Amino acid sequence: MSVVEIQAVNKHYGTVAALDDVSVTIGDGEFFALLGPSGSGKTTLLRAIAGFVTPQSGHILVDGEDIRDEPVHKRDIGMVFQHYALFPHMNVFDNVAFGLSVRRTDSAEVSRRVGDILQLVELGGFEQRMPSQLSGGQQQRVALARALITKPRVLLLDEPLGALDKRLRQQMQIELREIQREVGITTVFVTHDQEEALTLSDRIALLNDGRIIQIGPPAEVYERPRTHFAASFLGDANFFTGRADGEHDGFGRISADTGSLYTADTMPAHGTALTIAVRPEKLRVTRSSDDNDQLNCLSGQVVQSVYGGSSITYKVNCGEHVVTVFEQNREARPAASGEAVTLSWSPEHSIIVEA
């Protein structure tokens, strides 16, 4: 296991900053996600750690050793690509053993280690199969076994589950996490899939325009987004703008175009313009305001109701705002389009974000 340190790394392609003064430390044995939209810099950062991209400035350290200028084959880093990059003319055994073979490892040792790693990824008995005879999930495990068999210091995963269908991807998320925990290897993975990042990682780095916007455990980044971008990219959010308007019952009051809204966050100076984000699942839909004791209440009309089996997604017109609400399907009769409703939520769920 190893510690990876990224120190003020910059990479430009012409006038475009793929990485803009990026710094982050990835802990020993940590499962660390790089999350962001296309062009955010996440893949460039992963490839810089691997050695496929050389930054113009900054340092990349593994266990205190600067590897920025080291060639790829000397970095002792394993990598799994989105489309696995298995050798189609080699069987499973030879694909997995490839890294040991180029290191001229003793054949008996190769056989032992290949057998062990295939058991770990639950592919014992598949040694003689060709990649074309494997399912997508099995190919992914072979690629993972090939990356792990040389016992690298760090494992890099580039959209490792992106080629799988949704059901298999969800299954492989669990299996991949269990394998990583058992091996204990420091792992950095790139994804644009929000659910995947929340499910797999110990911490998430959210990137945009070559910069790290926010770093933290999944629950912290999701529940306490710092910026409008963080709130809107990782999950969904409703945004309300207004001005700081003192306090009420110990909560900060915001004077907004929808009326007075309340937050438990620390308020800026009176009159300061601010934006709050509210997650759709934090709102409650009722047909009357009489049974609501929340400070935050909005009256509106349902304009769309999307039935999802276990859940229902509403679009509610509240004046100039169309508010999204995500509710578990608990009611005997969900609210229908055109129906008047009241939306309410706790001040703790009004998160002040940077616009």
> In the predicted model, is pLDDT for residue 84 greater than 80?
no
Question: Span 267-289, mean pLDDT?
Answer: 91
Number of structural domains the chain divides into: 2
pLDDT in tens, 60-81: 999 999 999 999 988 999 988 8
Please tell me the predicted confidence (pLDDT) of residue 238.
Answer: 97
Cα–Cα distance list, 101 to 93, 114, 145, 201 (Å): 11, 11, 14, 32
Please tell me the predicted confidence (pLDDT) of residue 135.
Answer: 87
Please tell me the predicted confidence (pLDDT) of residue 288.
Answer: 67
pLDDT in tens, 109-124: 889 999 998 988 888 8
Please tell me the predicted confidence (pLDDT) of residue 292.
Answer: 62
Write the CB contacts of 109 (distance below 8 Å, at least 6 apart in sequence): 100
CATH of residue 275's domain is 2.40.50.140
Question: Which of 199, 230, 261 is the last residue in one of the domains?
Answer: 230
Question: Using an 8 Å Cβ cutoff, are 157 and 189 in contact?
Answer: yes
Q: Do 136 and 254 share a domain, yes or no?
A: no
> Mean pLDDT, the chain, as a whole number?
91
- CA dist 338 and 203 (Å) reads 42
Provide the residue range defining the domain that includes 11.
4-230
> In the predicted model, is pLDDT for residue 166 greater than 80?
no
Write the CB contacts of 157 (distance below 8 Å, at least 6 apart in sequence): 79, 80, 176, 187, 188, 189, 190
Write the CB contacts of 180 (distance below 8 Å, at least 6 apart in sequence): 31, 155, 187
pLDDT in tens, 134-152: 988 888 889 889 988 988 9
Amino acid letter, 205: A
Strand, coil or helix: 338 = coil
- How many CB atoms within 10 Å of residue 312? 19
Which pTM was predicted?
0.88
Q: Do 121 and 240 share a domain, yes or no?
A: no
> In the predicted model, is pLDDT for residue 291 greater than 80?
no
Please tell me the predicted confidence (pLDDT) of residue 253.
Answer: 96
pLDDT in tens, 207-219: 999 999 999 999 9
Question: Using an 8 Å Cβ cutoff, are 60 and 67 in contact?
Answer: yes
Q: Do 61 and 158 share a domain, yes or no?
A: yes
Please tell me the predicted confidence (pLDDT) of residue 64.
Answer: 94
